[in-house]
């Protein structure tokens, strides 16, 4: 089993990665502030936002109807703004989010894909990730895996890319393809963009090894995480403490203890059964 050895480099680049993530978040403003959007398009988007604001505080059928009206408003804008791809992308993304909240997964998927196509510079990765989520929730798992792979390929260094890689592996594990899932989880661990993401990925990888029945390999994964946390202790103490807590919260630790207990009890039962048979043979 392969284990990453670049622990020092992770700690060194952690601050830079956080800054990059913050910069990435700045690109998520979906209020029509992207360059290349005309004043008329901005005004239309502002009016659509007023409609979507009407969803706040509503529950039950009233909420469902308000979301439907708001999403439909943005969808009509997508058609109207076809000559302004950047503005159409904002409208499509906003519609997708509303349809997702409404529970209309195919409509959300359609709008996510449209946003990715209209303005790939701002929306490609996150919109493809959203579309893949919708496909997965519709049980179109092979298509979802391909879309997740497309999302990850946009920029493999991001947390979104890591999320996509994890979903590909998780779906394989859910489908009983344990060996392939382990392979994908291991690859995801080796490409984790931050120590925190490495811990999340290691949690999945450890549980996959447990599902395969290899508790030694599962223990090796946890030992790798322990080494990561120990290495981080030499850097920012606040970041190190957060990693330590994340490591302690890994559900794989409990799963491994339970699996080890079951294995131990099974071994004891085998010994007792063998002793019983020997006594009966006398």
Question: Residue 222: its pLDDT value, please?
Answer: 97
Long-range contacts of 140-147 (CB under 8 A, 24+ apart): 141/171, 141/175, 144/171, 145/171
DSSP symbols for 225-238: HHHHHHHHTTS-HH
Query: What are the two backbone dihedrals, phi and then psi, of residue 59, each rounded to the nearest 5 degrees?
Result: -135, 165
pTM of the prediction?
0.82
Amino acid 231: pLDDT: 86
How far apart are the C-alpha atoms of 94 and 252, rounded to whole Å?
A: 37
Look at residue 280 in the predicted model and tell me its pLDDT: 62
pLDDT at 26: 38
The pLDDT value given to residue 263: 81
Cα–Cα distance measured from residue 168 to residue 188, given in angstroms and rounded to the nearest whole number: 10
Residues contacting 190, CB < 8 A, separation 6+: 2, 4
pLDDT tens column, 181-217:
999 999 999 999 999 999 999 999 999 999 999 999 9
- 142-67-134 Cα angle (round to 5): 5
pLDDT of residue 265: 77
Q: Which residues of the chain have pLDDT under 50?
A: 1, 3-29, 269-271, 273, 276
Q: What are the tokens at 244?
A: 């330590």
């Amino acid at each position: 089993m392969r284990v990453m050895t670049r622990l020092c480099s992770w700690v060194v680049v952690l601050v830079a990665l956080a800054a990059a993530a913050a910069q990435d978040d700045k690109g998520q403003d979906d209020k029509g502030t992207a360059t290349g959007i005309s004043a008329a398009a901005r005004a239309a988007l502002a009016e659509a936002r007023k409609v979507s604001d009407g969803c706040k505080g509503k529950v039950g059928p009233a909420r469902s109807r308000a979301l439907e009206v708001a999403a439909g408003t943005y969808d009509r804008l997508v058609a109207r703004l076809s000559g302004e791809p950047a503005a159409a992308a904002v409208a499509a993304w906003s519609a997708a989010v509303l349809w997702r909240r409404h529970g209309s997964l195919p409509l959300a998927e359609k709008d996510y894909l449209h946003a990715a196509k209209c303005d790939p510079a701002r929306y490609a990765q996150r919109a493809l990730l959203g579309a893949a989520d919708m496909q997965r929730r519709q049980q179109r798992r092979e298509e979802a895996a391909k879309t997740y792979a497309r999302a990850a390929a946009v920029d493999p260094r991001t947390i979104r890319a890591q999320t996509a890689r994890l979903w590909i592996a998780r779906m394989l594990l859910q489908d009983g393809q344990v060996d392939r899932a382990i392979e994908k989880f291991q690859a995801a661990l080796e490409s984790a963009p931050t120590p925190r993401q490495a811990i999340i990925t290691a949690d999945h990888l450890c549980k996959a090894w447990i599902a395969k029945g290899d508790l030694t390999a599962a223990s090796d994964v946890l030992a790798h995480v322990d080494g990561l946390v120990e290495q981080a202790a030499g850097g920012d103490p606040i970041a190190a403490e957060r990693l330590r807590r994340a490591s302690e919260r890994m559900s794989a630790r409990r799963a491994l203890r339970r699996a080890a207990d079951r294995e131990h009890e099974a071994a004891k039962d085998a010994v007792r059964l063998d002793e019983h048979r020997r006594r009966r043979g006398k």
